Structure formats: C-alpha cells, structure tokens
Amino acid sequence: MPSTTKPMTDEKLEIFEDGRDFHADLLQSIHEMKAGRGTVIHSQAITARTASGLSQAQFAALLGVSVRTLQEWEQGRRKPTGAAQTLLRVAVAHPEMLRELVTG
C-alpha cells in the first residue's frame, strides 16, 4: 500500500531538524548498533549518486535540489517525486551521462 504521507517541505524539514536532539539520536543509534538492530537503507538516490561518482553537492546541483533534500532522499526520510524519480532512473542506468554533464 503506497504511503499517503506528503514529503516535508525544506522549510518544515529545517524546523524539524532544529528541534532534534542529535546527542540523544546518536546515543540511540550506538545502542541499536551494539544490539545488532541497525538497518541499512538502499535508496535509488544513493545508487545513482555513487554510480555517477559525484559528490552530494554536485549531484544535488545537477538535479536542481538542495543538498539537504538529496540527503533526505538518501536516508529514506523523503521520496523524490515526478521528474526527479525519472532522472534517478536515468542516472542508475547511465551514470556516465551525469559525469559528462558535470565535466562538460
């Protein structure tokens, strides 16, 4: 069943991030790792970016999104929509095209 939750806007995401307790999140993550409860996220954004060999900043600029948005996609907190999904599929299938766009 598809999610009906709408992605956060950059503005709402920034408000959310400002209210987070990163120290508590980090400690929780350490406890989960020690207990073997960690999860690995495999996202199309990570696959596409690593295949292209581009940095997050380069890849985000090429897609016309903020680095924060790209990070949210990579971490599975947000999902790319519409044209971004199509560009990610192209990037996975033909990473050399993205490298060529960046290097000219």
- 67 within some domain: yes
Q: Give the residue carrying structure tokens 């890849």.
A: 59
- 99 within some domain: yes
Cα(18)–Cα(21) distance, integer angstroms: 8
Token representation of residue 85: 């999904």
- Owning domain of residue 59: 43-103
Q: What pTM does this model have?
A: 0.61
> CATH number, domain at 57?
1.10.260
- 8 within some domain: no
* Average pLDDT of adjacent 10-residue blocks, the chain of 104 residues: 62 79 87 80 89 93 94 91 91 89 80
- 9 within some domain: no
As a dihedral over the C-alpha atoms of residue 62, residue 66, residue 68, residue 72, rounded to 10 degrees, the angle is -60
- 1 within some domain: no
- 88 within some domain: yes
Q: How many domains, in total, are found in the chain?
A: 1
- 92 within some domain: yes
Contacts 24+ apart (CB under 8 A), 10-16: 10/66, 10/68, 10/69, 13/68, 13/72, 13/78, 14/68
- 31 within some domain: no
